[in-house]
Amino acid sequence: MTDLVIDSLDCVYIPFDISHSNPAAYCSVLTRRNRLQYAFDTANSIFRHFGGMRNRLMDLYEQGNGAEWKPGVSDIGYDRFNLTIGPWGTQDQAWWESSRVLFATMTLVVSDTMTILIKGESWPPDDIEQVVFCRMDGVYYRPQQNFLSFFKITHLPRGDANGDQVINIADVMYMMNYLFRHGTPPVTFEAGDVNCDNDHGILDVVYLINYLYKNGNSPGCP
Ligand SMILES: [Ca+2]
Ligand SMILES: [Ca+2]
């Protein structure tokens, strides 16, 4: 049973540090998909359903609640950015601390392999430079499961499912093996999502074959 006080979310603040494998590389947070005014652009929102997972905030919005959630990406620099999200309406604050649902999907543009570190070393937070999840009764908490402290992002073109920097028949075989023989997933989600519909399926294989052998469109988003 849901307790709206305990299972609530009053604010989220997550500071990130970025380190690059190549000092000359760049990283930018893709503004169009992460800024406040696009919060409920259902295809591009930071709250979009992604990779077969439901986003809790998009679910709320689709049920007629949640329009007052305010996401923002601030203090964007070469080696850092902050993600802040705050709900302004009571219904919008309903959350489930132990639920394994998607919270937000960040979109970044990278030119190399980079590591993003969530700055959450000390707990509870004593200043704004650390992760803050706050309930509507003012209690801080940390998400219970799978709270990553860092993750790597590697740039791969869509279609390069096996990650060898070439798009060819080997990627078709790799995707077939993954989809139908319980093989290894694509090296990055985007590399396997050839047709850019936020999912992996036979349509991605068809798209790749059309591109490689039938003068079809290049992999990627329109
Ligand atoms: Ca490849
Ligand atoms: Ca796809």
120-147 pLDDT, tens digit per residue, is: 655 555 666 667 777 778 888 766 555 5
Do 160 and 166 form a contact (C-beta atoms < 8 A)? yes
SS (H, E, C) 11-72: EEEEEEEEEECCCCCCEEECHHHHCHHHCCCCCCCCCCCECCECEHHHHHHHCCCCCCCEEE
φ, ψ at 177 (rounded to 5°): -65, -40
Distance, CA 128 to ligand 1 centroid (Å)? 42
12-26, 47-61, 128-142 — which one is most confidently predicted on average?
47-61
d(CA 56, CA 54): 6
List CB contacts of 2: < 8 A, sequence separation 6 or more.
94, 96
List residues bridging with 50 in a β-sheet: 53
Distance, CA 149 to ligand 1 centroid (Å)? 29
Distance, CA 36 to ligand 2 centroid (Å)? 26
Distance, CA 156 to ligand 1 centroid (Å)? 9
Distance, CA 211 to ligand 1 centroid (Å)? 14
Q: Name which residue leads in pLDDT, 100 or 170.
A: 170
The one-letter code for the residue type at 201 is G
Three-state DSSP state, 169 = helix
Residues with CB under 5 A from ligand 1 (ion): 160, 162, 164, 166, 171
Distance, CA 123 to ligand 2 centroid (Å)? 39
d(CA 3, CA 91): 12
pTM of the prediction? 0.60
d(CA 111, CA 92): 37
List residues bridging with 14 in a β-sheet: 83
Which ligand is closest in space to the CA of residue 196? Answer: 2
Which ligand is closest in space to the CA of residue 202? Answer: 2
Looking at residue 199, its pLDDT comes to: 86
Among all chains, which residue has been given the structure tokens 């991605």? 204
179-216 pLDDT, tens digit per residue, is: 999 999 998 888 999 998 888 999 999 999 999 999 99
Looking at residue 27, its pLDDT comes to: 57
DSSP 195: T
- Look at residue 50 and tell me whether its pLDDT is greater than 90: no
Distance, CA 207 to ligand 2 centroid (Å)? 9
Among all chains, which residue has been given the structure tokens 């603040």? 13
Least confident of 45-49, 95-99, 155-159, 206-210: 95-99
All structural domains of the chain, each given as residue ranges with its CATH number in brackets, are 11-154 (no CATH), 156-222 (1.10.1330.10)
Among all chains, which residue has been given the structure tokens 């650390």? 130
Distance, CA 158 to ligand 1 centroid (Å)? 10
Task: Tokens for 66, please give them.
Answer: 């949640």
